Structure formats: structure tokens, C-alpha cells
Amino acid sequence: LFLGIAGKVARVMLNFFKPSKEQQQVNDATSSDLLQEDWNAYIAISDDIRIAPDGGRKILRAILKNCQHKDEKISCYSLTLLGSCVSNDDIGRFHDLVATQDTLSTLVKVARRHKSPATREKSLYLIRKWAEAFSSNRAYPIFASTYRKLVRAGCKFPATDNAPVLTPAATSNTNPNAAQDVNTEEKKDPYRNSNTPQYIFKLKTDLTALYTFINTCREMLTPMAFEHKGKKMEGNAVLNRMYRPLLETQSRMNQLIISLDNEELVDISLRLNEEVHLTLEWMTSIEQGKERKALPVLSLPKVGSSKYRRRTLVCSQQHHVIP
């Protein structure tokens, strides 16, 4: 009788400490016995997240647990798996789970306290990559705010690659020189230079000019919103002329924000990026004939000395957008 009771207790204890199905799946995909990342397993886990009733909450919990593992291979594999799951989430439910204080706090903890330099760097890489990818998405401001806090804390982020966070749809582009053209353009990008005083001054000048450009667009949109209230304006020439440069500016601002180390410029750029986004949304509402409150005219950023502001005000009259 005693042996029977002891056996039952032992089985209960084993079941209690036995990892869940999701944890075991993540453990297998991030095992230290693997010689390299198991991308087939990562894709399978991403597929399971897509159909999981809880949106992948249990899988995320298992991944975050392994991200904090002391073994460098397990923690690095887990961070790679996490990045893969975010990239392959075409529904958005997993994004909602990742874009939480608990998840980002765990990644920040790994980035600042893990004993492995490779693990710390990989965690910082993910934070920066997501901040760049979701900087224009108002539903996930936590990525940009987390990145800014770490920048202010003095964290040095590794460079990100050109791989998109969100897996794009397949295209029929057969131009063999496309990749070469992108690389050439990046080499010519003046915003990849170091933060020299000349660079900072030029950037402040361009940002102030962008304020003026946004205000000009809003001043032109205000009468259109009231005169054509309730009428669709798709294909309007004036809207088309404003839409493209604003859209291109937003794309460039997303890249710029991630490359900056200057706290003042990061704050100004984030505010400007948000204003560009709001202006584009307003234009879309006008095109569709929807009623929407007019956006206010922006005040110039208070950056630098009064001498600097006088000089940038002169430059801003040219209405140049960030090149």
C-alpha cells in the first residue's frame, strides 16, 4: 500500500515538473545540441502560433524563458526564433503579445544583464530592428519608446541588416541589378555618417525645413477638407503632389530615427514622424470624403541657440524635404 501511494505521488510530481507541449517544442528547436539554427522548426512554430487559440501566448512564454537561459547557444537560438515568429506573423496577434511591457522588459533584461555578449547583442538587435519596423505603426509605440530608453541609457546597438521584419509578399522583380542599386544608394546616404557637429547642424536644418513643409501641406489641405466635405477626391492632382513626398519622407524618417544617438534629435524626429503619419491619414480621409478635424499648424522645434533658430528659419523657407 505504501509503495502504491509513493508511486502515485512520484507520477504526480513528474507530471508537475514535466515541461508543457509548447515548452518542449521550443526546447527542441533551441537545443544546445543543434549545430545551427533549425529554421524548419522555427517555421513550424510560426505556423502553430498562427492557429493557436491563445494567439501564441504559451509559445511566447516558452521562448522568453529560453531567451534568459544561461547557455549562450540556447539563448541566441531562442532570440532568433522570436525574431522569426514576429516576422512570420501575418495576422498581427503575435505582434500584440510581443508589444507588451512584460515582453520588452524581458528583452531589456537580457540585453543588459545576460553574461553572454553574443546574447546581449542579439537582444539589442531585435529591439532596434522592431523599433525601425514598427516606428510608423501607432498601435505599437512601445518598440520605439523602449529603444529610446536604451539609447539614453548609453546602450550601443549593433547595425541592422536590410532583411524586412515583416515578410513581404513575393514579387516578380527580375532586375539583377536591384540589390546592387540598393547597396549603392545606401553608400551614398548622407545620414549614415557619424554624428559630427556639421552633421547635427545640417540635420537640424533639414528637420526644421520639414516642419515648414508639413505646415504648408496642412494649410493647403484645410480649405480642401471644408470645400469638398463629404465628396470623394480620389486622383486629385494636388493631393497626389503632396502624398508622394510625404510618403517618401516617412520612409526616410523611419531609417533616420534608428540611426540617431543624439537624444534631442531622436525626440524631434519621433514627433515629426508622428506628424507626417497624421498628415497622411488626414489626406486619406479627404480623398475618401470622410469628415475629420483639421490638424493644427506645428510650431518650430526649440533646438539649439537662437542663432541656430534664425539660420534654420531662413533655410526652411526653401521648403526642402529631407533628401
Cβ–Cβ < 8 Å for 288, 232: yes
Say whether both 195 and 143 belong to one domain. Answer: no
Q: Are both 19 and 147 inside the same structural domain?
A: yes
CA separation for the pair 81, 66 (Å, rounded): 10
**Number of domains the chain contains:** 2
Indicate whether 175 belongs to any domain.
no
pLDDT score recorded for residue 37: 93
Compute the distance between CA of residue 147 and CA of residue 132 in angstroms, rounded to an integer: 9
Residue where one domain finishes, among candidates 103, 132, 152? 152
Distances (CA, A) of 34 to 29, 37, 156, 168: 8, 7, 29, 29
Identity of the amino acid at 68 = Q
pLDDT tens digits, one per residue of 103-154: 999 999 999 999 999 999 999 999 988 988 887 676 788 888 888 888 878 8
CA pair distance 86, 99, nearest whole angstrom: 10
As a whole number, mean pLDDT of residues 294-306 equals 62
Is 310 within the bounds of a domain?
A: yes
| Mean pLDDT confidence for 240-249 | 76
Nearest CA among 134, 155, 157, 156 for reference residue 144: 134
Residue 197 forms part of a structural domain: yes
User: pLDDT by residue (tens digit) across 191-210?
Assistant: 444 457 777 777 778 888 88
Instruction: Compute the distance between CA of residue 134 and CA of residue 140 in angstroms, rounded to an integer.
Output: 7
Are the beta carbons of 239 and 283 closer than 8 angstroms?
yes
For residues 45 and 85, the answer to whether their CB atoms sit within 8 Å is: yes
How many residues would you count in the chain?
Answer: 323
Find the helix packing angle between 237-259 and 197-227, rounded to 10°. Answer: 150
Q: Which long-range contacts (CB under 8 A, 24 or more apart) does 197-200 make?
A: 200/262, 200/265
Of 49, 122, 40, 41, the closest CA to residue 80 belongs to: 122
Residues 26 and 113 occupy one common structural domain: yes
Cell of 78: 531562442
**Structural domain span for residue 229:** 190-316
In a domain, 1, yes or no: no
What average pLDDT does the chain have? 75
Of 97, 126, 152, the residue that ends a domain is 152
CA dist 56 and 68 (Å) reads 19
Final residue belonging to a domain, choices 131, 152, 173: 152
Does residue 115 sit in helix, strand or coil? coil
Residue 169 within a domain: no
**Residue 71 pLDDT level (bands cut at 50, 70, 90):** very high
- Note whether 27 and 108 are same-domain residues: yes
